[in-house]
C-alpha cells in the first residue's frame, strides 16, 4: 500500500541546512521524524489534559478508600 505524500516548503536556518547537507542527512526523512514526534507529543498532552479530571477523581477515590482489592495483595 503506497502512502500518499505531499510536497511542502520548510524554512530552516541556513547554517542548519548546510550542516545537514554536509552530513548527508535526508531532509525529508528528518523533517518527517521531527513532525511525527511533535504530533505524538501534542496528542499525548491533549489526552492528558482531556482526562485530567478523571485522574484527579481516581486519585481522590484511592486516597479516601484505598486501592481496590488491596486486601488480596501479597506484597
Q: What is the pTM of this model?
A: 0.74
pLDDT band at 75, cuts 50/70/90? confident
Cα-based distances in Å from 34 to 31, 39, 54: 5, 9, 31
For residues 31 and 10, the answer to whether their CB atoms sit within 8 Å is: yes
Say which residue the cell 478523571 belongs to. 54
pLDDT band at 1, cuts 50/70/90? low
pLDDT 10s digits, 24-64: 999 999 999 999 999 999 999 999 999 999 999 999 999 99
pLDDT 10s digits, 62-72: 999 999 998 89
Look at residue 63 in the predicted model and tell me its pLDDT.
96
Amino acid at each position: 500500500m503506497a502512502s500518499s505524500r505531499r510536497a511542502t516548503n520548510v524554512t530552516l536556518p541556513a547554517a542548519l541546512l548546510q550542516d545537514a547537507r554536509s552530513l548527508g542527512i535526508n531532509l525529508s526523512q528528518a523533517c518527517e521524524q521531527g513532525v511525527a514526534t511533535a504530533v505524538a507529543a501534542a496528542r499525548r498532552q491533549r489526552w492528558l489534559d482531556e482526562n485530567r479530571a478523571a485522574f484527579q477523581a481516581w486519585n481522590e477515590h484511592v486516597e479516601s478508600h484505598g486501592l481496590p482489592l488491596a486486601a488480596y495483595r501479597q506484597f
